[in-house]
């Protein structure tokens, strides 16, 4: 019985088309088919990383050459996986090997196409010779047979290349998924699913550099769950973990676009707000505070109501040229000002000057 093959899924077909488009793009810009170059272009053409695409489009629009150095920088900032170093190296090496194989396959296909073109030209000459020769019928028959044989050979080579590319695309897709998973795991908080401290540090560094260059506003919101230690001590760490997950969900659902939510540490979270004024950042922080306050904590098994979760939030605006530590410290100071003044509220850096004035009086 012949083995039945499952039809390729739409997702697989799209991945294959993207992989071939990546090969064409690398050739167009004269880039070597390295794992880094492939990863950047695949993420761009597949629409997987809007921030990477924005930076790549901006670079291309500037008219500057797309150098290996520029590609490596994009890869390190947006595609570089982390995790087990040996696994990363092995996966990247295999990806590079597959890219080399595909490049060789495409080169062979080009050679075969040139040879077929020569055969077509020879066929045309043969037709002319056959029609004018002494044994026209026999010569014509032989010329047609030769051409049919060459056409059959070319069709077989195309089928072989097609199968090779399909196999390579499937393996590339698997390897990319593995690298993507390692990268996500390395920058994701395992409990809450938002960015971890590493992701926060990288996002804040990139956001402040861009804000300084483009002269855009940038704000940082630091959030701390009120009375979290007391809740943990009273109800246990498992319920405490559920509270942290709830806070993360509310923060993530309340932001959009290029905003970044990360767990800064313990029960403290951070929200990076590019192109956002201090006033708008304060309003958003207050909305997040109110949305969180509306959530009730209930034990599912018993239906027992444990009350509501509140949080204190501090907001600061980035000042060009200041260190990241100073920026974070100012938002943190606003957060603890909110805690000292009753909790369940939002304060920003403008309150700090009032606090200093009050202390001096």
Render pLDDT for 253-299 as a digit per residue (tens, 0 to 9).
Answer: 999 888 999 999 999 999 999 999 999 999 999 999 999 999 988 88
What tokens does 172 get? 């590339």
CA distance 353 to 344: 21
pLDDT of residue 146: 63
pLDDT of residue 147: 60
Query: Residues in the chain with pLDDT < 50?
Result: 1-8, 83-84, 125, 127-128, 130-131, 356-361
Exposure string for 11-39, b = 16+ CB within 10 A, e = fewer: eeeebbebbeebbebbeeeebebbbbbbb
Classify residue 56 as left (phi > 0), alpha (psi -120 to 50) or beta: alpha
267 is catalytic: yes
Token pair 């997040």 in the structure block, residue: 288
Considering the entire predicted model, what is its pTM?
Answer: 0.58
Nearest to 157 by CA among 115, 112, 220, 192: 112
Q: Sketch out the chain's domains with CATH numbers.
A: 10-186 (no CATH), 197-360 (3.30.70.270)
Exposure string for 67-101, b = 16+ CB within 10 A, e = fewer: eeebbeebbeebbbbebeeeebeebbebbbebbeb
CA distance 83 to 181: 9
Q: What percent of the chain has pLDDT over 70?
A: 63
What tokens does 321 get? 């040229």
CA distance 324 to 210: 13
CA distance 180 to 189: 15
The CA distances from residue 252 to 257, 269, 291, in Å, are 11, 11, 12
Is 175 in contact with 95 (CB distance < 8 Å)? yes
pLDDT of residue 361: 33
pLDDT of residue 64: 79
**Alpha helices, H only, 187-218:** 197-214
Cα(first)–Cα(last) distance of the chain, in Å? 93
pLDDT of residue 3: 40
Is 324 in contact with 336 (CB distance < 8 Å)? no
Given the residues 51, 69, 267, 290, the one annotated as active site = 267
The CA distances from residue 150 to 126, 139, 143, in Å, are 14, 17, 11
Secondary structure (3-state) at 296: strand
């Amino acid at each position: 019985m012949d083995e039945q093959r499952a039809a390729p899924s739409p997702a697989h077909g799209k991945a294959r088309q993207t992989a071939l488009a990546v090969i064409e793009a690398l050739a167009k810009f004269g880039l070597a088919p390295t794992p880094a170059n492939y990863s950047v272009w695949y993420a761009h053409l597949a629409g997987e990383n809007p921030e990477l695409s924005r930076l790549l489009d901006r670079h291309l629009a500037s008219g500057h050459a797309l150098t290996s150095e520029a590609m490596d920088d994009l890869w390190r900032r947006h595609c570089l996986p982390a995790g087990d170093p040996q696994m990363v190296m092995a996966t990247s090496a295999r990806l590079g090997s597959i890219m080399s194989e595909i490049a060789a396959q495409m080169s062979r296909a080009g050679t075969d196409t040139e040879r077929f073109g020569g055969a077509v030209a020879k066929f045309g000459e043969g037709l002319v010779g056959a029609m004018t020769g002494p044994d026209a019928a026999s010569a014509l028959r032989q010329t047609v047979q030769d051409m049919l044989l060459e056409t059959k050979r070319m069709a077989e080579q195309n089928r072989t290349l097609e199968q090779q590319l399909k196999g390579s695309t499937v393996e590339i897709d698997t390897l990319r998924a593995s690298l993507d998973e390692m990268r996500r795991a390395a920058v994701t908080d395992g409990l809450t699913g938002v960015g971890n401290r590493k992701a926060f540090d990288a996002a804040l560094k990139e956001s402040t550099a861009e804000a300084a260059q483009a002269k855009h506003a940038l704000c940082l919101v630091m959030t701390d769950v009120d009375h979290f230690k007391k809740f943990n001590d009273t109800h246990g760490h498992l319920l405490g973990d559920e509270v942290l997950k709830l806070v993360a969900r509310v923060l993530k659902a309340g932001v959009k676009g290029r905003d970044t939510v990360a767990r800064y540490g313990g029960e403290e979270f951070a929200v990076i707000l590019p192109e956002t004024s201090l006033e708008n950042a304060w309003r958003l922080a207050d909305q997040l505070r109110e949305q969180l306050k509306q959530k009730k904590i209930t034990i599912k098994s018993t239906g027992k109501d444990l009350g509501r979760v509140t949080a204190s939030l501090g907001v600061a605006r980035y000042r060009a040229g200041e260190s990241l530590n100073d920026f974070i410290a100012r938002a943190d100071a606003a957060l603890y000002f909110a805690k000292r003044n009753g909790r369940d509220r939002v304060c920003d850096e403008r309150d700090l000057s009032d606090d200093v004035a009050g202390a001096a009086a």
